[in-house]
């Protein structure tokens, strides 16, 4: 499948989930009965939206990064990112 088609399908599923949650919430008599769309059912793309938690750099790793940065700045090279 092409990436554009997959993105389109993911958006359609998210739209369906949002509308379904709205229908459930319209019939809720109490605020505790309301449900968030992501709690209604899980989608595969939900896992990709989570933020990755990174560990802080150790002193040695930070020193290496700073040393590389200083070297790059003194040589006048700009890295492509």
Over residues 1-50, the pLDDT tens digits come to: 688 998 899 999 999 999 999 999 998 889 888 988 888 888 888 886 56
Q: How far apart are the first and last CA of the chain?
A: 28
CB atoms within 10 A of CB 17: 19
Asked if residue 81 has pLDDT above 80, the reply is no
pLDDT at position 31? 87
Structure tokens at 9: 């399908």
pLDDT at position 48? 66
pLDDT at position 57? 85
Please give the average per-residue pLDDT across 64-68, as a whole number: 90
Residue 53 near residue 44 (C-beta atoms within 8 A): no
Please calculate the CA angle 34-46-22 and round it to the nearest 5 degrees. Answer: 25
């Amino acid at each position: 499948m092409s990436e554009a088609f997959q993105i389109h399908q993911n958006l359609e599923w998210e739209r369906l989930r949002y509308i379904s949650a709205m229908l459930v919430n319209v019939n809720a008599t109490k605020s505790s009965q309301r449900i968030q769309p992501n709690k209604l059912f899980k989608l595969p793309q939900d896992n990709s939206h989570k933020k990755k938690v990174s560990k802080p750099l150790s002193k040695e790793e930070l020193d290496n990064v700073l040393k590389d940065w200083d070297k790059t700045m003194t040589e006048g090279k700009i890295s492509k990112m």
